[in-house]
């Protein structure tokens, strides 16, 4: 039985396809995650909020996992790390956050890719694996995303996955310590299905 998109059986939290596995982070992922984030720091910094001082520590990662578990249990967010199927290499992460139920049935997607894997189509493939999960398993009607206008790679990813640019939000998010304008994108379940 479904009520406002909430199903009686929990969704599978390991979408797989297109040579990728998406799954929630685990404590055992910490070394690879911290190494990839650290080696990609300069690449990621222009597009992300300021990192907490303990972000790359084991303690910070443990706190992150507790928050993720709470978010999943409360149906507020679904964080995933992205692994290559062939060798289980961590390439990035994607999160469906700000899940809203009731008459909205929507969520917001955010993502990051490690610098060694950028420009190789991994994020486009990851979103194409995630979107069926979002629309079918979670029963959402709409998915939103935002990106800084100068982030041309991110704009291309969203457009390739069928997102439609719906507007510009002035000084929308604080990225790298500065309030920045963002393009707003949306994708409806019926758009995705067609």
pLDDT at residue 111 above 50? yes
DSSP H or E run through 170: strand 164-175
| pLDDT given for residue 13 in this prediction | 87
- Residue 46: pLDDT band (50, 70, 90) is very high
Q: Are 115 and 9 in contact (CB under 8 A)?
A: no
| pLDDT given for residue 137 in this prediction | 93
Place of tokens 């510009």: 168
What the chain holds in terms of domains, given with CATH numbers, is: 16-193 (3.40.630.30)
List alpha helices for 133-172, DSSP H.
152-160
| pLDDT given for residue 141 in this prediction | 97
Distance from C-alpha of 19 to C-alpha of 84, rounded to nearest angstrom: 6
pLDDT at residue 159 above 60? yes
Tell me: the pLDDT tens digits for 1-37? Answer: 333 444 444 567 899 999 999 999 999 999 999 999 9
Place of tokens 């990851």: 126
| pLDDT given for residue 8 in this prediction | 42
Tell me: the pLDDT tens digits for 133-153? Answer: 999 999 999 999 999 999 999
Tell me: the pLDDT tens digits for 61-81? Answer: 999 999 999 999 999 999 999
Q: Are 146 and 184 in contact (CB under 8 A)?
A: yes
Report the candidate in 141, 143, 52 with the shortest Cα–Cα distance to residue 102: 141
Beta bridge partners of 28: none
Given its phi and psi angles, is residue 16 left (phi above 0), alpha (psi -120 to 50 degrees) or beta?
Answer: beta
Given its phi and psi angles, is residue 177 left (phi above 0), alpha (psi -120 to 50 degrees) or beta?
Answer: left
Distance from C-alpha of 46 to C-alpha of 35, rounded to nearest angstrom: 19
Distance from C-alpha of 159 to C-alpha of 169, rounded to nearest angstrom: 18
Say what the pTM is. 0.92
* Pairing, β 106-113 against β 142-147: parallel
């Amino acid at each position: 039985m479904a009520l406002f998109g909430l199903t009686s059986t929990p969704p599978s939290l390991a979408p797989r396809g297109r040579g990728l596995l998406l799954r929630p982070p685990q404590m055992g992922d910490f070394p690879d995650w911290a190494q990839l984030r650290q080696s990609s720091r300069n690449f990621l910094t222009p597009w992300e909020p300021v990192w907490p001082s303990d972000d790359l520590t084991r303690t910070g990662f443990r706190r992150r996992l507790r928050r993720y578990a709470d978010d999943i249990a409360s149906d507020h967010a679904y964080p995933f790390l992205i692994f290559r199927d062939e060798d289980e290499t961590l390439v990035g992460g994607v999160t469906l956050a700000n899940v809203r139920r009731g008459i909205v049935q929507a969520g917001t997607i955010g993502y990051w890719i490690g610098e060694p894997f950028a420009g190789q189509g991994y994020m486009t493939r990851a979103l194409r694996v995630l979107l069926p999960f979002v629309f079918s398993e979670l029963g959402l009607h709409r998915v939103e995303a935002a990106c800084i206008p100068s982030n041309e790679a991110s704009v291309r990813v969203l457009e390739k996955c069928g997102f439609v640019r719906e507007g510009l939000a002035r000084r929308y998010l604080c990225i790298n310590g500065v309030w920045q304008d963002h393009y707003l994108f949306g994708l409806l379940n019926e758009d995705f299905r067609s």
